[in-house]
Structure 1
Amino acid sequence: MKILLVCEHAGDHNGWSQYTRSLHDVLKNKGHDMHVCCIQATTGMKCFPLLKEPLRYLTNPIIPLLSAIKLSQVIREVQPDVIHITVEPYAMTVPFIGKKNIKRTVLTIHGSYGIRPLLQLRTRWLALQYYKKIPSFITVSNYTKDAVSRTLKRKHHSIAQHFSENAHVIHNGIAIPTMPQHSQSNERKEILLVGGIKPRKGVLQAIEACSEFRKLSSTPFHFSIVGTFKEDAYTEQVRNRIYELNLVKNVSVLGVLPESTLKSLYQKTDLYLMPSITTPDTFEGFGLVFLEANAHGIPNIGPETSGAAEAIKEGISGYHVDPDNPKIIAQRMHWILDEGRISPEQCRSYAETRSDKIMIQETERVYSLLVHEK
């Protein structure tokens, strides 16, 4: 099959990029002819770098139209069997690419950006149009599918029905390291969060839990926060809380790290802690980072709601918690760090059931249905 991926880029560590990279690499290895329409070229990919930053498609109504013209030119040149949009805001171009092209389009919905265009007046009409016209959808969790369905029902019942009938739940998958890469530390326990300093990631909640854990346990620990952040009010609140709780020596804000440095950090991490927050329009669609931690033999603690809950198997790969209950989170930290209730072997075995190869097999079935119906 000839497949055109419409994405931001595949060279970053965010969820959009990881998903696109997995799709591209595994499908290419299986013999599919892969092409990518993106912002900037990525080494090893046949790229058409003509798109703009994703969020601009939700703020400027002219950008979707102009990009649709360029995208249509790429489609004419490539003649793909499937056009797979892997970054939700780029679906704003769909109403302008023509019926023939729409019939071969698949949209993956990861999380919050599946519903935000429906909630904003300036983007709602276009969003309803692409939800009405796209013939096939992939959602990365049941939670994400249900969230989009509920939001659509409030706006347009028949479009909601079309979406529900044509949305396929395919959980995210990851490439499993060929050999175990995790080596537990004997002294100081290492805790990790990858996702930056954002309210949605539950950073403040994780810091409160670390404070409670210190009351509960004498085990020395260090909590590393990795990813982008802005020097805004929330980041200031996080820094102040670290200081107020006397956790300055226990918590580090590391920012964005090179891939090699992050890999080394995973190798010595004992716990992945990300008690993500769920609100009506902001949620974790799945939480690929939980699986990534498991693949390195690291147990998780994550939220009991949102799609992230579907990434964790209770008592096997980690624990579900109420993000706003630091005492319970601290107890689960104690179970993992002090009592060793979840082993690295359990984590890796679970991750192997969620490999990217399984994800790709299910995605190929969606492609086949689309091509057959077209």
Structure 2
Amino acid sequence: MKILYISHLHPPKNKPLKSIGGMQSVSMQLVDSLQKSKDIEIESIIMRASWKFIRLKTFFFLMSLVWRIPAKIEKTKPDVVLFSSMVTAGILPFILNKTKVPFVTINHGQDVTFPSATYQRYLSFLFKQLDGVISVSSATRNACIERGMEPEKGVALPNGFDTKVMDMLPEKNKARKLIEEQFKLDLSGRKLLLSVGRQVKRKGYRWFVDKTFDKIKTDTVYLIVGDGPERENIQKAKEKSDKKEKIVIVGKQPDEILNACYAAADLFIMPNIPVEGDMEGFGIVLLEANRAGVPAIASDLEGIKDVIEEGVNGYKIPHGNPDLFAAKIDYVLRHELDELSRKSKEYVQKYYSWDTVVDQYISFLERVVNRESA
């Protein structure tokens, strides 16, 4: 099967960006995995760019797809066109000289729920143009159905993670020393709680600092890695905490330090809250933590539901319940940490490596191609 893959926001070749988002990492890893798959041939149209003027670059890239996709189809004769997100799939109705090649998109969450009335009306029209839709979670697939996607067009398939990264993770004691030096911490006799991600309201970091962290009885340090519009509010919540010296907000970090954070952590915290017009499509950071042997305590919301197998790679807590959230953290740290850490790593290696996940993508694409050619 020959796939024409369309994506944006890949970093320039041989010039990796200091930080890229989850969608971009997933897109790059998916392409690599497809290229390694037997009987799969990949053609692509990919925008590779730095963050400078990225919105303007993306606009012109999308406009160029109107004629570049038909030209590429004519030249390479793909069996299916696969868009990396609803952003790139959005140009589908404008493509000139459409052919009978089936068009499939992946979607990730916010590219479905983006709170614009015009965008939401356009989505229902766009779903009619598509031949297949891959959503990264059941919650995201349901959001598509609510916006007009025919259920039989869509499937929920997980993201995967790059197993090569596991070889780059430092040993735990070495990682803890590195983190202590990097962020001027004292982790002696303390457990390390970690959150990684863009600091937006849905992530619930402010809620966790404000309502939950002080209730944890175990001696812990809470490390928050990332940046975003909620950082100031999180900082204000920290200043009100009775344990503010144990809450550390460090911003974005290079891969070496981020890997050390995962390797040093004892529990991964994902305290999401519901936000209208936004959602957690999958939670790739949960897999990144689990692959380092770090189980998660997370809110039982949206795409997180699909990633956490209760008591295997973590626990899901009803959102907005600080007492239960804190109590579960204390219980796991005191009674289950070693076993849960081992099971977390084994679980994601078995079910979420790209070697496993990419076969599910290929199977769905083959079904779409066979259905449309029947």
- Residue 246 of structure 1, CA deviation: 3.6
Instruction: Report the secondary structure of 1:187's partner residue.
Output: coil
Q: Report the residue type matching 2:224 in the other structure.
A: I
Q: Kindly provide the amino acid, as one letter, of the partner of residue 345 in structure 2.
A: R
Counterpart of 1:48 in structure 2 is none
Q: Give yes or no for the alignment of 1:344 onto 2:347.
A: no
Q: How big is the shift at 1:74?
A: 4.3
For residue 70 of structure 1, report the CA deviation from its aligned partner. Answer: 4.0
SS of residue matched to 2:147: helix
> Is 1:201 aligned to residue 203 of structure 2?
yes
Please tell me whether residue 30 in structure 1 is matched to residue 37 in structure 2.
Answer: yes
Q: Is the contact between residue 317 and residue 347 of structure 1 (CA under 8 Å) also seen in structure 2?
A: yes
SS in 2 for 1:9: strand
Query: Paired residue for 1:364?
Result: 362
In the TM superposition, residue 54 of structure 1 has moved relative to its aligned partner by 9.6
Cα offset, 1:99, TM superposition: 6.6
| Aligned residue type for 2:194 | L
Q: Distance in 2 between matches of 1:364 and 1:351?
A: 20
Distance 2:322 2:120 in 1: 38
Deviations 1:205-250 (A, max 9, x none): 221322211xx23x2x2222122324xxx33221111011144321
* Deviations, residues 241-299 of structure 1 (Å, cap 9, x unaligned): 10111443212222211112111111111111011122342111111111121111001
Report how far residue 55 of structure 1 moved.
Answer: 11
- Pairs within 5 Å for 1:260-279: 260-279=256-275
TM-score (norm 2): 0.82
Change (3 A) 1:99 1:310: farther
- Quick one: structure 1 residues 13 and 302, their matched pair in 2 at CA, closer, same or farther if it must change by over 3 Å? farther
Q: Which residue does 2:145 correspond to in 1?
A: 149
CA, structure 1 residues 82+52, in 2 after alignment: closer, same or farther (shift >3 Å)? farther
Give the secondary structure class of the aligned counterpart of 2:27: helix
Q: Secondary structure at the match of 2:227?
A: coil
Q: What is the aligned partner in structure 1 of residue 110 from structure 2?
A: 112
Where 1:313 maps in the other structure, the secondary structure is coil
The count of corresponding residues between Structure 1 and Structure 2 is 345
1:120 and 1:318 map into 2 onto residues whose CA distance is 35
CA deviations on 1:42-66 (whole Å, 9 max, x unpaired) are 9xxxxxxxx9649976xxxx98555
CA contact (8 A) 1:2 1:33 kept: yes
Q: Structure 1 pair 6/134, CA: closer, same or farther in 2 (3 Å)? A: same
Q: Name the CA distance, whole Å, in 1 between partners of 2:36 and 2:251.
A: 33
Partner of 2:24: 17
**Aligned AA (1:206):** F
For the 8 Å contact 2:70–2:97, the answer to whether it is kept is no
Give the Cα separation in 2 of the matches to 1:297 and 1:63. Answer: 40
Structure 1's 38 and 248: CA in aligned 2 closer, same or farther, altered over 3 A? Answer: farther
Q: CA RMSD in A?
A: 2.9
Code of the aligned partner of 1:38: I
3-state SS of 1:148 partner = helix
Question: Cα distance, 1:38 vs. partner?
Answer: 3.2
Distance 1:243 1:125 in 2: 43
Q: Among 106, 118, 128, which residue is 1:122 paired with?
A: 118
How far off is 1:167 after superposition? Answer: 0.5
Amino acid paired to 2:108: H
Q: Deviation of residue 41 (structure 1)?
A: 5.5
1:139 is aligned to 2:141: no
The 3-state SS of whatever aligns with 2:244 is coil
The 1:249/1:127 distance shift into structure 2, 3 A limit, reads same
Distance 1:25 1:211 in 2: 44
> CA shift at 1:106, angstroms?
1.0
What is the match of residue 190 of structure 1?
192
Q: Distance in 2 between matches of 1:363 and 1:143?
A: 18
Distance in 2 (alpha carbons) for counterparts of 1:37 and 1:335: 49
Distance 1:78 1:227, change over 3 A: farther
In the alignment, which of 255, 262, 274 is matched to residue 259 of structure 1? 255
Structure-2 change in CA distance of 1:150 and 1:203 (3 Å): same
Q: Unaligned stretches of 5+ in structure 1?
A: 43-50, 153-159
Give the conservation status (yes or no) of the 8 Å contact 1:10–1:21.
Answer: yes
Q: Distance in 2 between matches of 1:306 and 1:88?
A: 18
Is the 2:123–2:147 contact (alpha carbons within 8 Å) kept by the matching residues of 1?
Answer: no
Counterparts of 1:277 and 1:87 in 2: how far apart (Å)? 24
Shift of 1:191: 1.5
Q: Residue 195 of structure 1 contacts residue 226 of structure 1 at CA under 8 Å; is this kept in 2?
A: yes
Distance 1:148 1:313, change over 3 A: same
Residue identity in the other structure for 1:237:
N
Decide whether the 8 Å contact of 2:301 with 2:319 is kept in 1.
no
2:225·2:251 contact (CA, 8 Å) conserved in 1? yes
Q: Distance in 1 between matches of 2:352 and 2:2?
A: 26
Structure-1-length-normalised TM-score: 0.82
1:103 and 1:2 map into 2 onto residues whose CA distance is 11
Residue in structure 1 matched with residue 240 of structure 2 by the alignment: 244
User: Contact (CA 8 Å) 2:161, 2:288: kept in 1 or not?
Assistant: yes
Aligned partners of 1:277 and 1:303 also within 8 Å: yes
For 1:170 and 1:337, the matched residues in 2 are separated by 31
Tell me the amino acid that sits aligned with residue 9 of structure 1.
L
